[in-house]
Chain A
Amino acid sequence: MRFRLPLAGLLGLAVLAAGCGSSSEPAADGKAAITYAIWDKNDQASAEKIIAAFQQANPNVTVKLEITPWDQYWTKLQTAASGGAAPDVFWMNSLNVRMYAKGGIIAPVDDAKAEGLPEAVVDGYRYDGKLYALPHNVSIPALWYDKKIFDAAGVDYPTADWTWDDVKAAAKKLTDPAKKQFGIMAPMWDQGGFYPTMIQAGGHVLSPDGKKSGFDDPASIKGLEFWTDLIKDKVAPVAEVYTDTDPIQLFQSGKYGMYYGGVWFASTFWSNPEIRERIDVAPLPAGPAKEAVILLGLANAVSAKSEHPAESAAFAEFVSSEPAQKILSDSGGGALSLRPGTQDGWFKAFPSFHLKETYEASMPHGVPYPATLNTAQWQDVQQKLLADAWAGKRPVADVAKEIAVQMNEILAKE
């Protein structure tokens, strides 16, 4: 009885110590066991099928799937990587890849294996001339619209030929203050919102060499004003509305005509029969200067400290290969496969949505997501300052110029 307290304490320490030392160890029977870390639970089913297919072709390798929710994913990965215990293969995005490549956490992958994949996505994973992760899916922003609202107002549905002017004209006609109905939504969103419009107006987010901000370019400012004008003209709700309720939920309430969302919302919308009937999707409208769609794709990176580098690389390559891409596509989940020609299964899962047309019209105008070594740092500046412009507290041009100044300071230090 007298020993219980210290003993319990010691036990606790022992458990802690044991917890620190776990990493992938070679299995006793000569098999290689590797871990695969992802963050999206919606991809669990397809990932398990892909793993099964890989293990069938490589009987000497077992892959263990680890799912960590997005909120903890990067913190956990960073901590594990600092301690030299990163998973063998893990999901990477183009915002973080340069940091992990520079830090020597991930190993370069064979550039040849990315052949045939869209360059706008692949290029996001290059650093210092080497490819550091193999992308396997693509997220394409698109224009979702509510057919019921369009029908009631007698407005033609959006097409691939739409321009900004068509959006503005339609938004005006669809707005009905009496019914609290708005023509469009204008949340402060980068990938499918203000980044593409900045480029469509002839501006840019980052200079091609990634050393200078493009926010002070007058064309970029025009791209930002596209959104703030929609709010000013009262055809889109004020900024606070989107922070209280997620735009994806607002759109499903049937009070909003158009929504710049992503094709990956298809599975969410499809799961509700009433919504499924009512909405459809079209490619992003063209701006005054050109068409542009910012493509983001997730990729698989291989740990530089993996005990099974060959097997890990083989698995990462497999996920981006045609058979695995078809498995991903056929599972009809949120993610759209990246390798051209493998998407049919996914399109067929949502037959009434014009996803195939949207995909085909968007891919030729694909632009990589702007990113540098420490993207999070200047995105934070951008986020905080743009909030004032969206809230109508400061003119967009002032805010944009200030973002450029601060962003250039950060970029100069990289």
Chain B
Amino acid sequence: MLSKREWVWGYLLIAPMALGLAVFYLWPIAQTLYLSFTESGVFGGHTWVGTANFTDLLGDEEMLGALGNTVLYAVLVLAGVPVAIVVAALLNVPGLRGMSVYRTLYFLPVVTMPAAIGLTWRYLFNGDFGAINYLLGKLGIDGPYWVGDPDFAIYAIAIVGVWSSVGYNAVLFLAGLQGIPRQYYEAASMDGAGRLRQFFRITLPLLTPTTFFVIVITMINALQVFDLVYLMIDTTSPALNGSRTIVYLFFEKGFVQNQRGLAAAIAVVLLGLILVLTAVQFRLQKRWVHYE
């Protein structure tokens, strides 16, 4: 039993965090919910409009387009998760020389400013002067206008999205790999299982809790993508029609066009989408995640 004194200290110690969460997360969420049912003035003040914002969104082509772009981006970035597993497996090879150098290199994008990442990739993707099309040209391939073409832009952004999340995911997988007891492998090799068989029968199943975590986090992050689109696609670019994500649309409505209520409704829809998709994943995990 905790003494009363210990209870008090406990609460006191979590108070800063709890307070911060309440002030900077919970209160804004409540406000956003409320605002989504209003039409707000440019300089504050708002009127209650019921569910009008949501019905407006329902048939809105732009919202549907943004939804499609966002889901496509999320799928593409999730398809990059296996890359992180491979990277982690390679970084876990015992006796690898310069291991910490490689680990640092892969983790570097995670600690780099998104602005720097976006701008650098934008130069690389430049249709006329970019390094990527230059190299493709050497191979005899006429590269597209990666970030200028509405049909390519979202793929270009997804490439950057995968590139910048591989390091973070690989570190998580690395931790997962190192949590697998060595005895399993020893026992398996004594029973005559080869390396490949060990990977599929021991490593992958025991890595499923990490995989589950990585997929959930990656999906939530991908659905909220904004910075890369904002940095790599100009506000006047025709490619924006093919790469406008939900959060980008939220930004446009709320901060460019001053339709705060509608923007809040977009945010609420996104919150709902993330909640539902995450709940589905938690449901499905029972079928494929092994904790033992």
Contacts and interface: CB of A to CB of B under 8 A. Distances in A.
Interface string A99-126: 1000111000000000000000000000
A104 B43 CA distance: 9
A374 interface: yes
B59 interface: no
A207 interface: no
Interface stretch (B105-113, B142-150, B160-168, B269-277): B142-150
Most buried by B among A82, A104, A189: A82
A240 interface: yes
A9 B20 contact: yes
Contacts of B20: 9
A271 interface: no
Contacts of B13: 5-6
A380 B238 contact: no
B2 to A, nearest CB: 17
A243 B146 CA distance: 10
B231 to A, nearest CB: 11
Most buried by B among A99, A188, A384: A384
B165 to A, nearest CB: 25
B128 A245 contact: yes
A103 B42 contact: yes
B158 to A, nearest CB: 18
A99 B241 contact: no
Contact of B19 (A9, A78, A242, A391): A9
Most buried by A among B125, B238, B258: B238
A81 interface: yes
A385 B255 CA distance: 20
A6 B255 contact: no
Given A5-B16, A103-B41, A245-B128, A376 B238 contact: no
A5 B255 CA distance: 36
Interface residues of B, number: 37
A375 B20 CA distance: 38
Nearest to A189: B236
A244 interface: yes
A359 to B, nearest CB: 27
B147 A244 contact: yes
Interface string B126-139: 11111000000000
A230 to B, nearest CB: 16
Contacts of B145: 238, 240-241, 243-244
Nearest to A387: B238
Interface string A231-245: 000000011111111
B43 A241 contact: no
A203 to B, nearest CB: 22
A162 to B, nearest CB: 27
Given A75-B255, A240-B148, A380-B252, A391 B238 contact: yes
B43 A376 contact: no
Contacts of B147: 243-244
B237 interface: yes
B41 A9 contact: no
B240 interface: yes
Contacts of B255: 75
Given A240-B149, A244-B147, A380-B252, A78 B238 contact: no
A6 B13 CA distance: 7
A244 to B, nearest CB: 5
B12 interface: yes
Contacts of A377: 257-259
A374 B257 contact: yes
Given A6-B13, A243-B233, A380-B257, 15 more contacts: A9-B15, A9-B20, A82-B44, A240-B148, A240-B238, A241-B148, A243-B236, A244-B147, A244-B148, A245-B128, A245-B129, A383-B236, A384-B240, A384-B241, A388-B238
9 closest residue pairs by CB, A with B: A240-B148, A387-B238, A240-B145, A9-B16, A243-B237, A243-B148, A103-B43, A82-B44, A244-B127
27 contacts: A8-B16, A9-B15, A9-B16, A9-B19, A75-B255, A82-B44, A103-B43, A105-B43, A188-B238, A239-B148, A241-B145, A243-B236, A243-B239, A244-B128, A244-B145, A245-B126, A376-B257, A377-B258, A380-B252, A380-B256, A380-B257, A383-B235, A383-B236, A384-B62, A387-B237, A387-B241, A391-B238
